[in-house]
Amino acid sequence: MSNRRCPRCQTTYDAPARFCVKDGSLLVESAPESGRRTGGQADGGEDPSARLADRATALGSLTGQILDQRYQINRKLGEGGMSYVYEAQEIESGRSVAVKILIPRLSRDPASVERLRREATIATRLNHPNVCPILRLGETPDRLLYLVMPYLEGEPLSEHETRRGPFPVAEGIPLLVQVCHGLGHAHELQIIHRDLKPENVMLVPDPEAPTGFRAVVMDFGLAKERRAGPDVVKLTATGIVLGTPEFMSPEQIRGKPLDGRSDVYALAILAFELFTGQLPFTGKNAQETMIARLRGAPLPLRAVRGDLPAKLEAVIARSLSVNPAERYASMADLAHAFEASTSTGVLGRLFGR
């Protein structure tokens, strides 16, 4: 019996098929046939869409329940405008996973569902220690879509910064280089993150890393393929709404075409905040701050923290250029610049010069 189907055209396939041959969509696991009837009605004549609406609040408290007969939900990790995220245990294997569940009202919105499917399709292609992959896109019997990812022990960079303050150079540079490597891998696959920020970088304890942490780039939900088709281009054209304004590049604010240099810009803002505890653009309100970015008037790094290397200030200043052509052309170039930004090098600082 077919156990996978295309969420777009509903064509069914047998395992191990992963993509629909008709439209290229990532296949989802078919829900059990029990409880379903032709025409979308559950047993008893209940409308599944109405049932989803009734469960909207309940999805915020799934702790202790079993999702889709596959995952034991242990605790909620967070929630956002599109989803709830839980730590869970995969019943069959016993491994810990993170499950992102699309909220019911958005599961009826084609654009939101398309974003979730696209996130899964994109992220299944990513395979790098500094990127969090998607393991599976699933669907429950009542049409709840969800993503399954490895559960990473650690904390978001944003929480780490809040708890301990600005990073010393010797600890910050290796983490930034790791983020460069992760994003560089994505860029090689023609994928731009588009929403890089401290909340989307996880610090995972790693005894083999120079600083004891491994940086992992999370949440490619706003990621955009450079060779995207018309539907995806239309969907991601509203980047000013979908992205995080404080970290957007000038071209993203203007709704212009993007490439990997937009992520270079966002990473420079992240780096500035990592070392200083504040953003490089100031204003009385969000509009003034956005205008400052469009005009290219960032604060000099050492005007905020004078003990930082001049070379590091120059690297960040170049990465924050309004014109993408004036930034580093690739994440590999930026990683090299970060590594060369201290006079004795990162390893020298780490081990007492």
Question: CA neighbours within 13 Å on the CB side: how many for 1?
Answer: 6
| Residue in 68, 142, 195, 219 annotated catalytic | 195
Distance CA 260, CA 276 (A): 25
231 is a catalytic site residue: no
Q: Which tokens go with 137?
A: 């896109």
What residues are labeled active site? 195
